[in-house]
Structure 1
């Protein structure tokens, strides 16, 4: 795999992670908005409402944790790409300087 292909692959993978993070953030926001009142459960009562809220809060946290993790993965891939890219440029410059007459 060429250097350019490797850089393109890192960029594409980072975008996939960023897209996943955005989807999880949207889902977490929708989950946060799905609150219900105890009255909405009619005859089922407060216990059902409490159970619903516990599950909803868990799912909201789970989705938002996933968003943070996916975003972190995308950011890490970009840092790796930038590090390799910087290393490549430094190596090119060092090679150029080694062959130049002073």
Structure 2
């Protein structure tokens, strides 16, 4: 999967289950990336329906950037990891991309 591109959710996971799981993992991890500690502002009505993101603009380079919190499989799904709360952690997209499918 390309970093920061499109996240494809398996049809095996119901969208409402994914929303509740994302919220539970983010709450457990205090809405912080477990590798670098980055934490976005969290709206008081956040319900897990969407990824938490921050869009930035670098005026010197004239570029936009986006940083967001994602769910990451500790034991990679590609290597048999399960979609269970104990196997999921909160990572920002930068740390998730650098981790790849490593444990």
Report the TM-score, using the length of structure 1 for normalisation: 0.23
The answer to which structure has the higher strand fraction is 2
**Structure with bigger RCO (C-alpha 8 Å, 6+ apart):** 1
Structure ID, larger Rg: 1
The answer to which structure has the higher helix fraction is 1
